[in-house]
Chains A and B, each alone.
Chain A
Amino acid sequence: GAGVSQSPSNKVTEKGKDVELRCDPISGHTALYWYRQSLGQGLEFLIYFQGNSAPDKSGLPSDRFSAERTGGSVSTLTIQRTQQEDSAVYLCASSQRGSNSPLHFGNGTRLTVT
């Protein structure tokens, strides 16, 4: 079956521009996570959506970062006024019944800010 799909797979943008990253989770998965993986930094939690509840935004590094999830399915991560330190791989993952179930990861979006 289809896995978690992320688009674009690669994005190069100029410093100061806004970018939108998209995640299509596995159908029926109620939980959706965004993580950031920087070189040598491991996986950094950004935001977590669970069903119709208010998202946990505690990991967003600044107010330039925002995310939404429409209809409990597709999610968009938006980074405004990008900075070079935003360069990383942005990973989306989804799971059933919240985080007690294993996460299924997408292939990520590699963002490069020049």
Chain B
Amino acid sequence: AQSVSQHNHHVILSEAASLELGCNYSYGGTVNLFWYVQYPGQHLQLLLKYFSGDPLVKGIKGFEAEFIKSKFSFNLRKPSVQWSDTAEYFCAVTMFSGGYNKLIFGAGTRLAVHP
């Protein structure tokens, strides 16, 4: 079955630490890849996206993600996190199914950054 897996459900870091959140998907066809972020009390916002081209994608607020096709992965990274990065992060993948591109989300990773 088509699915998106985020292996870390809760991550706790201190400010200035490096971040890497894992995302893997199970689908053999062409995919588009997204990371969304949900800050406390706010709605989901797009962080970055990959459609084609350079597999290393840079997004807002210093985040980047790398698409590794052979590993079916799209991990999110940030070299130095800030307290304001505390949020829940969702990986999402579009998969062609039943004649349509369907967007499937992972379960999310809740990040807490301590000052």
Tell me if B105 and A43 are in contact (CB < 8 A).
Answer: yes
Tell me if B106 and A99 are in contact (CB < 8 A).
Answer: no
The total of interchain contacts (Cβ-Cβ below 8 angstroms) comes to: 58
Chain B hits for A108, CB < 8 A: 43
Number of B residues with CB within 8 Å of any CB on chain A = 24
- Which residue on chain A has the smallest CB distance to residue B110? A40
Chain B hits for A58, CB < 8 A: 97-98
Given contacts A42-B90, A43-B90, A106-B43, are A98 and B108 in contact (CB under 8 A)? no
Bound CA span A93–B43, Å: 11
Tell me if A45 and B104 are in contact (CB < 8 A).
Answer: yes
Contact of A42 among B32, B49, B100, B106 (CB under 8 A): B106
Bound CA span A14–B44, Å: 29
Number of A residues with CB within 8 Å of any CB on chain B = 22
Tell me if B108 and A42 are in contact (CB < 8 A).
Answer: yes
Within A20-67, the residues touching B (CB, 8 Å) are: 33, 35, 41-43, 45, 48, 50, 53, 56, 58
Bound CA span A81–B15, Å: 47
Tell me if B51 and A99 are in contact (CB < 8 A).
Answer: no
Bound CA span A108–B103, Å: 18
Tell me if B99 and A42 are in contact (CB < 8 A).
Answer: no
Within A54-110, the residues touching B (CB, 8 Å) are: 56, 58, 91, 93, 98-100, 102-103, 105-108
Chain A hits for B32, CB < 8 A: 99-100
Tell me if B51 and A48 are in contact (CB < 8 A).
Answer: no
Tell me if A103 and B107 are in contact (CB < 8 A).
Answer: no
Tell me if B51 and A35 are in contact (CB < 8 A).
Answer: no
Residue among A53, A93, A102 facing the most chain B CB atoms (10 A cut-off): A102
Residues of A participating in the B interface, judged by any CB pair closer than 8 Å: 33, 35, 41-43, 45, 48, 50, 53, 56, 58, 91, 93, 98-100, 102-103, 105-108
What 4 pairs between A and B have smallest CB-CB spacing? A42-B107, A43-B105, A42-B108, A99-B103
